Structure 1
Amino acid sequence: MRWPGRFLPLCALFSALFAALPFAHALPLETAVPGGLALVRFGNDAARPQAWFREKRVAVVRDGQGWVALVGLPLSLEPGVHPLRVASAGGSEETRPIRVASKRYPLQRFTVPDHRKVEPLPEDLLRIAREQKRIDEIKALFRETPDVDLAFRQPAAGRLTGSFGLRRIINGLERMPHAGIDFAVPVGTPVHAAGAGVVVETGDYFFNGNSVYIDHGQGLVTLYCHLDRIEVLPGEPVAAGQRIGLSGNTGRTSGPHLHWTVLLNGAAVDPRLFLPRTKR
């Protein structure tokens, strides 16, 4: 895993990349449930307000009606009313309520041939802990950008086989819910960036296999897992639809596929909410 000088060059890269991208915001689909996202509208002031959910900055973009906060809701979030803290450019603060409904995701059972990927050895657990620390750092990223590319496209041409949020029983053991969606594609299928951004991490992970993380700005990050080949480097700006690698069967898998995760203010949310309606 490679980190580009602790992200020091990224500010300049983001400024150059996003200044030239006048994104027209077709907002993602609002689904205020655990694993979904909430859209909170503000006024139409000239200056962008700031907002925080559970002490994490959230993305704020402008559409034709004014400023909108895009709030990622973690899968572990309890249903109920949760506060969003908002600060105007003038310094005044207010709290806005986000009402989160309950949702029970389906159960999925499957078998992984490599039992070590389901019941890791002690040395594997040390590696997993190191990798999780890196992942947590990526989840905490919030890069100020003039705008954010929200017009995501499907990263690989394939059939959706693994839905988001599935409660998983792997080799008879209960494991973490599915934090992304899967596309059934053979090894070697081109994988493309869902939107414009900057690569912040590439590497081989115990569970995720060969992976690429792309930061799209303002706490929006996408992850592409189980790749056979990675074709981009950390610190490299990428355009929407640019090829970043080839799909594979690395990490914990039951067969070749592409796993795609969308992180919003550190929370894994259903990627289909960001796709055109014909792809949901």
Structure 2
Amino acid sequence: MPRTVALLLSLAFALPAHAEGFITRLLNKPVPGGVAVIAAGHGPQAPQVRYQDRPALVIKEDGRRWIAIVGIPLTVQPGEQQLQVDGRPQRFRVDAREYRAQHITLKNQRQVNPNPDDLKRIAREQDEQTRAYRQFSQNQPSNLLFDRPVDGPLSSPFGLRRFFNGEERNPHSGLDFAAKAGTPIKAPAAGTVTLVGDYFFNGKTVFLDHGQGLISMFCHLSAVDVKVGDRLGRGEALGKVGATGRATGPHLHWNVSLNDTRVDPAIFIGAFKP
């Protein structure tokens, strides 16, 4: 009898974690620059969820309940946040996370302090990329556990406070992979190519829309093998690793965006470190 009681108690304690579902356990990292997974009801239709006036990704987890998968900006302070589920406020908590600093030396001073013509180009390019990040297709992502886009070790992590030639600039908005020039870059999940460009900072770049505001950006490519409108399956090649734009050597910089918020890509490949 004592063994039976002990078994029942262990199962009872295990149930809440199991009931969360795989996606919640994988993605729920509610920190600045992270992802919050929030229960959004059990109705027959997907609820409309908005956070900071942007639509959020909503899926049904394990066929049981709707969940919202929300990107949290790096600028958010730890504490209580609020989103809207079908117009009703719902609160969630953001935990603290510290990010370290990175100091980079660039030989090209224009990549630290661009000239007036460069600044005009940069503004145009930022507008173009902002529009791409804000697209919200109704297609549901094919999967949320991503493959690594290149075969290579992780190098610079997400969220680093970056200093170029001693001057602080925007935090690192993606995850870098160390890889040789020419290494094939593969789609980490199925998606549609929505933007291809060659930019001042990012170099040759591809945007891939996975659905419902979940978007990948790949930059510093040496070659682009796709065009806008192409539909890629998981694992299909989209280009090759390079060092175009503001880069000190060949590598892949990979951004992941949710609800127009850049979040830590390591979360989606099971490599997140608190």
TM superposition score normalised by structure 2: 0.88
Amino acid at match of 1:239: G
Q: Alpha-carbon deviation of 1:171?
A: 1.0
Q: Does 1:118 align with 2:117?
A: no
Q: Which of structures 1 and 2 has the larger relative contact order (alpha carbons within 8 angstroms, sep 6+)?
A: 1
Q: Is the 8 A contact 2:32 2:77 kept in 1?
A: yes
**Structure 1 residues 278, 173: closer, same or farther in 2, change over 3 A?**
closer
**Which residue matches 1:136?**
130
Q: Does 1:69 align with 2:68?
A: yes
Q: Is the 8 A contact 1:25 1:151 kept in 2?
A: no
Which aligned pairs between 1:144-223 and structure 2 lie closer than 5 A? 144-223=138-217
Q: Which secondary structure state, in structure 1, belongs to the residue aligned with residue 154 of structure 2?
A: strand
Amino acid at match of 1:71: V
Alignment gaps of 5+ in structure 1: 1-23, 88-92
- Structure 2 Cα separation of the partners of residues 146 and 264 of structure 1: 13
- Structure 2 Cα separation of the partners of residues 153 and 113 of structure 1: 34
Which aligned pairs between 1:4-23 and structure 2 lie closer than 5 A? none
Q: Which secondary structure state, in structure 2, belongs to the residue aligned with residue 162 of structure 1?
A: coil
**Aligned-residue RMSD, C-alpha:** 1.8
- Structure 1 Cα separation of the partners of residues 271 and 125 of structure 2: 35
Q: Which secondary structure state, in structure 1, belongs to the residue aligned with residue 266 of structure 2?
A: helix
**Structure 1 residues 279, 194: closer, same or farther in 2, change over 3 A?**
farther
Q: Alpha-carbon deviation of 1:118?
A: 1.2
Q: Does 1:48 align with 2:46?
A: yes
Q: Alpha-carbon deviation of 1:95?
A: 1.0
**Structure 1 residues 101, 146: closer, same or farther in 2, change over 3 A?**
closer
The CA deviation string for residues 161-182 of structure 1, in whole angstroms up to 9 with x for no partner, is: 1000000111111111000010
- Identical aligned residues as a percent: 41
Which aligned pairs between 1:83-94 and structure 2 lie closer than 5 A? 83-87=82-86, 93-94=87-88
Amino acid at match of 2:255: T
After TM superposition, the runs of 4+ consecutive aligned structure 1 residues lying more than 3 A away are: 24-28, 276-280
Which aligned pairs between 1:237-248 and structure 2 lie closer than 5 A? 237-248=231-242
Q: Is the 8 A contact 1:61 1:148 kept in 2?
A: no
- Structure 2 Cα separation of the partners of residues 172 and 279 of structure 1: 27
**Which residue matches 2:78?**
79
Q: Is the 8 A contact 1:25 1:150 kept in 2?
A: no
Q: Is the 8 A contact 2:140 2:212 kept in 1?
A: no
Instruction: Tell which structure's C-alpha radius of gyration is larger.
Output: 2
Alignment gaps of 5+ in structure 2: 1-20
Q: Which secondary structure state, in structure 2, belongs to the residue aligned with residue 160 of structure 1?
A: coil
Question: Which of residues 97, 101, 112 in structure 2 aligns to 1:107?
Answer: 101
Q: Alpha-carbon deviation of 1:104?
A: 2.1
**Which residue matches 2:230?**
236
Q: Is the 8 A contact 2:133 2:260 kept in 1?
A: yes
